Amino acid sequence: MVVYRNTSHVRCQCQRLGTFGVLMDSSHREQLEGDLETLALITYSCLCLSMMALLFSVLVLSCLRGLKSNMRSIHSNTAAAMFLSELVFLLGVNQTEQQFLCTVVAILLHYFFMSTFAWMFVEGLHIYRMQTEQRNINYGAMRFYYAIGWGVPAIITGLAVGLDPEGYGNPDFCWISIYDKLIWSFAGPIAIVILMNGGIFMIVAKMSCNSSQKETKKLPVIATIRNAFLLLLVATSTWLCGLMAVNNSILAFYYIFDVLCLVQGLSVMLVFTLFNSEVKEAWSVACLGKKSPGEDPPRPSQNTGL
């Protein structure tokens, strides 16, 4: 079995001693059969539409006056991380001719994918804090959130690069091989985020079902939990299929990945902007040219922001 391969070396794992392992080496990319021109067209179309939806979400959440809450900032950073990961994947996953560029692309993919799930964890943490803390935490500094969303993935990626720089990129694709131990620096943190967010969502859902909760407060919380959980499932499925596609070169995985990327981008745009009541209100206020009553929220005390 081929464990690692680059332009000058092949590392194999065999059950018996011998040199036939190198002779048996074959590129997974050469085994990909089917209408590759159609696949390329569908891939570029789906990813471009998804990136357009994500970029629209980032611009609306960042530029629309009246959207100054921390939740909207978290959504904007989540969409930005998704956009950057898809952009790097589209432009760089097949840049295998230049070894240094391929390595850089693989590292950036690792970082931006990790950042996507880190910001999803931040959203779950923020929802939990909004339900458990008496003070209004939806306004104020977000230094702690930025440290988790962008800083922690950078630390994990930096450690992985330092421990195994050769694990990034190979002659077939510019990403992590599922046959390399480095994959756990990607899959491990994502699995932790899924488990922690699942636990947080169950705790918050149980709290929202408390009879002491007002009915007007229950509905937004339940809807927020449902949307966050569905987006987490879509993002997990998307990048799992993408990882399987480039590692196994199975045509079906590529098509599933393309469709899920499109679903991911459109879901973010619909949930974060078009179907969001706060965004719709801010949009209508901006179109009417009137100042929103909630545009200038009360400044929190110095000890309320993270």
Q: What pLDDT does residue 270 have?
A: 92
Residues pairing with 12 in the sheet: 2
Higher pLDDT, 131 or 47: 47
pLDDT tens digits for 186-237? 889 999 999 999 999 899 888 877 755 554 455 577 888 888 889 999 999 9
Distant-in-sequence, close-in-space partners of 156: CB < 8 Å, separation ≥ 6: 114, 185, 189
Query: Beta partners for 176?
Result: 168
Residue 131 CB-half CA count within 13 A: 27
What DSSP character marks residue 295? S
Provide the strand spans (E) within the chain.
2-5, 10-12
Name 168's bridge partners: 176
Tokens 């969409």 belong to which residue? 79
Local structure of residue 11 (DSSP, 8 states): E
Q: pLDDT (tens digit, 9 = 90+) per residue, 89-144?
A: 988 888 888 888 888 998 999 999 999 999 999 999 999 988 888 888 888 888 99
b/e sequence 210-238, b meaning 16+ C-beta within 10 Å: eeeeeeeeeeebeebbebbbebbebbbeb
Measured distance CA(221)–CA(205) in Å, rounded? 8
Domains of the chain as residue ranges with CATH: 39-288 (1.20.1070.10)
Total-model pTM: 0.80
